[in-house]
Structure 1
Amino acid sequence: MTSPGPDPETTTVPEAGPAVTPTRFFARLASSMSDPVLRALVAATAVSRVGRGVFFAVTVLFFTQIIGLSAAQAAVVLAVSSGCGVLGSLLGGWLSDRWSARRLSFTFEVVSGLMLAAYAFTGDFVSALVLASLSGFFDSMGHSSRSAIIARGFAPDRRVHARAVLRTVTNVSIAAGSGLGAVALALGTPEAYRVVIASGGLLCALGSLPLLRLTAAVDAPRRETHEVRTETGSIDTDAAAAARRDWNRRSPWRDSRYLLLTVLSAVFGMQFGVAEFGIPLWITEYTAAPEVTVSALLIVNTALVVLFQVRASRGTHDLRVAGRVTMIAGWLMVAACMIYALAAGLPAWVAIALLVFGMVAHTFGEILSQAGAWGLSFELADPQRAGAYQGVFGMGFSLGALASPIVVNATAITYGPTGWAMLAAIFLAAAVGIWAIARRAAASV
């Protein structure tokens, strides 16, 4: 679904029409499977994310209703798990530049899945905290390793396409996993919860098996920085020292442009917190819309991502296109925030209609911002340190996820429409910053 150069379609929001039908969608998705690297990643993602979907559906209720944790304790468990994920993102990328990314990814996925399966045997706050922390840590390390695999396993104009395909598969699989989790919710017994959780964890672990089909081509090139030998066989210490200096110089921590991109992308990434945290609270506390509207909006979001993520990511490996779609995403988030704000105090049917319109704008902002972020995160990274760069970028998104509930609560939930205007300004400022980085980088090429 990518093109060799900029595609005008990527600078506008795709519209539903004859060109976007389920048949065409699945045909395009199937055509991508000719690539063995993408085929292995899709197979691994499809299975493992079904397992993750189970946990998204039942984790909080398992903690509070089955184990008996308080809401505050459950929040601490999830927050600490996310914090461990921040460290895991950084470490996973760093390791992927030094050892086999495919073997590391396989190992991390297996361990993370087993930690999730072990949830079935938890019975108190401490055990839940330990297992959630370990699972979040290893899952984030696995995600960074996979990002390094994508960076090395595909041509520049195919990386964003691969990420878009994998995100589409992720959404479908998580939806399927949530359906499995509904079995436990329907039965409501401790045994049902534990069986479903153990099954979900084992699915996550089994999802790592297709990664074993990947070849060494996705691993980092062999690095010899400690022993560089001359023609006579002696160690060339000067060359070794120069190689080490060059390696350190390529660190993402020395790349101020990339670090700024990471920070701005993390800020814009707080839009996920708006959907997951802000919208449910806004609906229940400020609008007349029924609570079931939350589920309806989630369905709208998932369906649009599945249908349009691959299409909207076309051409965003080009720096200019990536910058433009991010700018469009910024304005879409401004529109979404304003529409959400208007839903307060209106009759239920009007509020529902506005919330749906807001979610449509929000979702296309999400789709386009992700496409732009992927393109820039790959194209502005040093290819010799792909793992470290992707680890830093992933860490930024993890930090944004941690901060988003606090920021959303301090703005929209606390100040109502004025708070939504604050959020809109934050998203627009981040988009402008990313657009400026992309424009300057494109001009210097």
Structure 2
Amino acid sequence: MLSRLLPVRGPARTLAGITLVHTLGQGLWMALNAVYATTVLHLSPGRFGIGVGLAAGVALAVSTPTGHLADRVGPRAVQIWSFIALGPLTAALLAVQGFGMYVLVVCVQAIAYSASRSARMAMVAGLVPSDERVSVRAYLRATANVSVSLGAALAGLLLVLDSVRAYELAVVFTASTYLITGLLSLLLPPVPPQPARPGPALVVLRDRPFLAFVVLDGLLSMHNLLLDVVLPLWVLRHTGAPRWMVAAILLTNTVAVVLLQVRAARGTDEPSAAAKASRSGSLCLTVACVVFALTDGASGVLACVLLLAGALAHVLGEIRQSAGSWGMSFGLAPEHAQGQYQGTYAMGADIGKMIAPALLTWLAIEHGVVGWVIMAAGFALIGAAMPSVAAWAQRDRKAATAPLTA
């Protein structure tokens, strides 16, 4: 079974094994985070939301600097120590007393998490040939989906127990997965650190085409919140479909990503091809939004059929958009600054996650069919702009590297 989950060799196989371990803890904690904060720590939902928001802001702010750190000292060292730090930082939740201490712990956690994320992507860039990076990234995502699902299933068992001891056990388990991940990272070959270069340290912040890509990609990535946040509310309030359709849609998405993500990533290593993949993915997302709009007021079998059709269109868009996103993020980044570029790239998705819940819920739940149509048009327009951004970035790259003539 493990060999099927990890069909790659060498450092890429080790990266996939590391992903399997750390996302198992992530899947467990994603399902229990809010429950632990409100049930064990006795925080109000409002204070929990504030804490999560502040931590997200910290992760966003340090994403580029921690990526630059991975470039300068080597991504393996940053990955090892950030995951090892996440172990005791997660365990520290067992000792939290009061809202202030909770905010402090989760914000420091966010710094370590941001560093680990930037380092992981810099490791892919440093250990994998450029024409294989997107494929390996796709393997890692497929592996993560399997592992996160297992973690969520384990969380379900703990929720059935519904005891403080069970939730504290979840904290210990999650902390241990981070420690194990840090130790497993020792098996990876080291990636040489990049020496300091003349000029500004954070060169990515002056790369306007790449920053434009990050913004557009972040807006396009808002679709990731459709199935988790928007569609459950839509199914319950605007359709006659049974409640279990929400679980069926999520299961369909998970299985499709595991089976199709690697295939969807083929041929997207070059920025121009990757941009076209993002565009085609956005068109699938547009179709999904239109199909979801058609379920308004639908009942019974018709609602179920349309919801599944929309979910299939959505997952096709998701896997193509993801592949295009990775291809552009790796392909537009100079080799000596992959860490800071990957850290900045991750900021786009972070911004999308911060905006999407309120914006997409407001559009769909408050405005119904009109809201879905606006989303469809928005995804189509953003995707259509990606090839132009890729061409702009490649022109700038050629101009920067062209020899000076007398």
From 186, 189, 192, the equivalent of 1:219 is 192
**TM-score, with structure 2 as normaliser:** 0.92
C-alpha displacement at 1:85, in angstroms?
Answer: 1.8
Q: Is the 8 A contact 2:25 2:174 kept in 1?
A: yes
From 195, 198, 204, the equivalent of 2:172 is 198
C-alpha displacement at 1:26, in angstroms?
Answer: 6.1
1:107 matched to 2:59? The reply is no
C-alpha displacement at 1:358, in angstroms?
Answer: 1.1
From 223, 234, 238, the equivalent of 1:271 is 223
Could you give the per-residue CA deviations for residues 68-118 of structure 1, whole angstroms, max 9, x where no partner exists? 322222222222222222123222211112112101111111212332233
Work out the CA distance in 1 between the residues paired with 2:296 and 2:50. 31
Q: Is the 8 A contact 2:276 2:386 kept in 1?
A: no
Work out the CA distance in 1 between the residues paired with 2:52 and 2:218. 19
1:154 matched to 2:106? The reply is no
Q: Which residue of 2 aligns with 1:407?
A: 359
Bigger shift: 367-376 or 428-437? 428-437
Alignment of 1:277-426 (within 5 A): 277-426=229-378
Work out the CA distance in 1 between the residues paired with 2:116 and 2:201. 25
- Cα pair distance change 1:111/1:192, threshold 3 Å: same
Give every structure 1 segment of 4 or more consecutive aligned residues whose post-TM-superposition deviation is greater than 3 Å: 120-124, 439-445
1:181 matched to 2:181? The reply is no
Q: Which residue of 2 aligns with 1:167?
A: 141
Work out the CA distance in 1 between the residues paired with 2:330 and 2:103. 34
- Cα pair distance change 1:294/1:26, threshold 3 Å: farther
Whichever residue aligns with residue 136 of structure 1, its letter is: A
C-alpha displacement at 1:178, in angstroms?
Answer: 1.0
Bigger shift: 381-390 or 285-294? 285-294
- Report % sequence identity: 29
From 5, 12, 21, the equivalent of 1:47 is 21
C-alpha displacement at 1:135, in angstroms?
Answer: 2.0
Helix, strand or coil for the counterpart of 1:317? coil
C-alpha displacement at 1:57, in angstroms?
Answer: 1.5
C-alpha displacement at 1:349, in angstroms?
Answer: 2.8
**TM-score, with structure 1 as normaliser:** 0.84
Could you give the per-residue CA deviations for residues 25-66 of structure 1, whole angstroms, max 9, x where no partner exists? 965x5441x22x212211211111111111112112222233
C-alpha displacement at 1:298, in angstroms?
Answer: 1.3
Work out the CA distance in 1 between the residues paired with 2:95 and 2:209. 46
Could you give the per-residue CA deviations for residues 245-278 of structure 1, whole angstroms, max 9, x where no partner exists? 3xx3881111111111111101101111222221
- Cα pair distance change 1:289/1:134, threshold 3 Å: farther
Helix, strand or coil for the counterpart of 2:73? coil
Q: Is the 8 A contact 2:27 2:149 kept in 1?
A: yes
Cα RMSD of the aligned pairs, angstroms, is: 2.1
Q: Is the 8 A contact 1:90 1:141 kept in 2?
A: no
Q: Which residue of 2 aligns with 1:133?
A: 107
Helix, strand or coil for the counterpart of 1:327? helix
Q: Which residue of 1 aligns with 2:401?
A: none
Q: Is the 8 A contact 2:363 2:372 kept in 1?
A: yes
Whichever residue aligns with residue 43 of structure 1, its letter is: G
Q: Which residue of 2 aligns with 1:244?
A: 198
Q: Is the 8 A contact 1:120 1:197 kept in 2?
A: yes
Q: Is the 8 A contact 2:6 2:17 kept in 1?
A: no
Q: Is the 8 A contact 1:96 1:145 kept in 2?
A: yes
Q: Is the 8 A contact 1:50 1:204 kept in 2?
A: no
The count of corresponding residues between Structure 1 and Structure 2 is: 397
Helix, strand or coil for the counterpart of 1:50? helix
Q: Is the 8 A contact 2:209 2:392 kept in 1?
A: no
- Structure 1 residue ranges without an equivalent (≥5): 1-22, 226-242
Q: Is the 8 A contact 2:6 2:143 kept in 1?
A: no
- Cα pair distance change 1:426/1:388, threshold 3 Å: same
Work out the CA distance in 1 between the residues paired with 2:17 and 2:53. 30
Q: Is the 8 A contact 2:272 2:390 kept in 1?
A: yes
- Structure 2 residue ranges without an equivalent (≥5): 399-406
C-alpha displacement at 1:432, in angstroms?
Answer: 0.9
Could you give the per-residue CA deviations for residues 307-340 of structure 1, whole angstroms, max 9, x where no partner exists? 1111111111023321221111111111111111
